[in-house]
Amino acid sequence: MQRKFSFEALFVKYCGVAAVVFSLGCLIVLLTVIFINGIPGLRLDFLTHFPSRFPAQAGIFSALIGTFWILVMTALFSIPLGVMTGIYLEELAKDNWVKRLIQVNIANLSGVPSVVYGILGLAVFVRFLGFDRSILSGALTMSLLILPIIIIATTEAIRAVPLSIRLAAFGVGASPRQVIWYHVLPEAMPGILTGVVLALSRAIGESAPLIMIGALSFVAFVPHHPLDSFTVLSIQIFNWVSRPQEAFHALASSAIVVLLGITLSMNVLAIYLRTRFVQRRGGD
């Protein structure tokens, strides 16, 4: 039986094709523009120099080190907190209104604009606790920002661990902690890691909260201590983009190439972890 030609069928299908092509096109244009403008300025000096008023001498050394500090310290705070909260919600919390309230709360926290976390960090870490405009304040603010992402990823990964494994472990007389530690966590680890990597790549790209807590944009020294002031790549980029001179825009595009190199490779790593995880689940 031959199918009748249908304009409507083609229309629906090609709207979909067009939408996907448009999105992919945006991605390609975006990357092309950045690489064309950014690659020429990407010399070794650029990575090892401090920022400068003279575009020819300016570099991102202090921003790179600052980004690394923020990344490590944010990971240090947010991973244990996020994973532990996820474990509590999935494994220990009784199914009652308290648990539901906490879940709704976390879903809402994940939708709070980053600049609001910045206001919180400014009021609590910088002023109230007196950590000043330091790496510590920045990392704590960033940790609160990405905490919901890690919690949600953890609960999803834990939910995917089959109940039968838990029952088997309880059946030989294990305690809840032993079941979680030896069976649930190892099985959920790839999923948790995917979420953690995505969350940290978000932390690297975010700048609004750090601007709020007053991360300096002109830092001509390397921070040595969590209480030192700092700048990060994304703030350095913001600073250069907001200047009118073309030369600084060129610097910004080179810095963006570096920033994208870091965040996109983290995204790829996360996608790789996730597909491996899905395959393993499917293969059981």
Partner 1 sequence: MLPVTNVFPKLLTDKLTVKYGEKVGVENISIKFFDSKVTALIGPSGCGKSTYLRSLNRMNDFIPNVKITGKVLFSGQDIYDSSIDPALLRRHIGMVFQKPNPFPKTIFENIAWGPKRAKFAKTEIPQLIEDSLRQAALWDEVKDRLHTSALGLSGGQQQRLCIARAIAMRPSVLLMDEPCSALDPIATSRIEDLIQTLKEKYTIVIVTHNMQQAARVSDITAFFLNGKLVESGETKQIFTLPKEIETENYLTGKFG
Partner 2 sequence: MKGLENTQSFALKRSLSSPSNSLSENIFKGLLYVATSVSVVTTIGIVVVLLSEAIQFFKEISFVEFFTGTQWTPLIEPKHFGILPLVCGTLLVGVGASLIAVPVGVASALFLSEYVRGSLRTILKSTLEVLAGIPTVVYGYLAITFVTPQLQQFIPNLEVFNALSAAIVVGIMIIPTISSVSQDAFEAVPRELRDAAYGLGGRKHQVAMTVVFPAALSGFVASVILGFSRAIGETMAVTLAAGSTPKLSFNPLQSIQTMTSYIVQVSLGDTPAGTIEYRSIFVVGLTLFSMTLISNLIAQWFSRRFQERYL
| Binding to partner 2, residues 123-142 (CB under 8 A) | 123-124, 127
Is 30 near partner 2 (CB under 8 A)?
Answer: yes
Is 187 near partner 1 (CB under 8 A)?
Answer: yes
Q: Which of 45, 48, 52, 113 binds partner 2 (CB under 8 A)?
A: 113
CB 232 within 8 A of CB 207: yes
d(CA 119, CA 123): 6
Q: Which does 139 bind (CB under 5 to 8 A by kind): partner 1, partner 2, none?
A: none
**Which structure tokens are listed for 276?**
């491996």
Closest C-alpha to 56, from 257, 250, 275: 250
Q: Which does 284 bind (CB under 5 to 8 A by kind): partner 1, partner 2, none?
A: partner 1
Is 166 near partner 1 (CB under 8 A)?
Answer: yes
d(CA 50, CA 58): 6
d(CA 47, CA 251): 11
Return all residues near 280 (Cβ < 8 A) that are at least 6 apart.
190
What is the longest distance spanned by two Cα atoms in the chain?
78
* Site for partner 2, residues 264 to 283, rule: CB under 8 A: 264, 267, 271, 275
Residue 219 to residues 114, 142, 198, 201: CA-CA distances in angstroms?
Answer: 23, 20, 28, 23
Query: Which C-beta is closer to partner 2: that of 171 or that of 225?
Result: 171
Which helix H or strand E contains 258, and what residues bound it? helix 246-283
Is 182 near partner 1 (CB under 8 A)?
Answer: yes
- Total residues contacting partner 1 by CB under 8 A comes to 20
Q: Which of 105, 178, 242, 265 binds partner 1 (CB under 8 A)?
A: 178
Q: Which does 165 bind (CB under 5 to 8 A by kind): partner 1, partner 2, none?
A: partner 1
**Part in contact with partner 1 (CB under 8 A); list of ranges 118-126, 175-183, 227-235, 263-271:** 175-183
Residue 194 to residues 12, 86, 141, 277: CA-CA distances in angstroms?
Answer: 34, 14, 22, 9
**Part in contact with partner 1 (CB under 8 A); list of ranges 159-167, 202-210, 233-241, 268-276:** 159-167
Query: Which C-beta is closer to partner 1: that of 99 or that of 249?
Result: 99
Q: Hey, how many other C-beta atoms are within 10 angstroms of the C-beta on 46?
A: 18
Is 218 near partner 1 (CB under 8 A)?
Answer: no
Q: Which does 247 bind (CB under 5 to 8 A by kind): partner 2, partner 1, none?
A: none
Closest C-alpha to 225, from 80, 41, 65: 65
Q: Which of 39, 72, 76, 112 binds partner 2 (CB under 8 A)?
A: 112
**Which structure tokens are listed for 126?**
């910088």
* Site for partner 1, residues 41 to 100, rule: CB under 8 A: 94-95
Q: Which of 175, 242, 245, 275 binds partner 1 (CB under 8 A)?
A: 175
75 three-state secondary structure: helix
DSSP state of 130: -
Q: Which does 69 bind (CB under 5 to 8 A by kind): partner 1, partner 2, none?
A: none
Query: Which C-beta is closer to partner 2: that of 105 or that of 224?
Result: 105
Q: Summarize as ranges the residues that interact with partner 1 (CB under 8 A).
A: 94-95, 162, 164-175, 178, 182-183, 187, 284
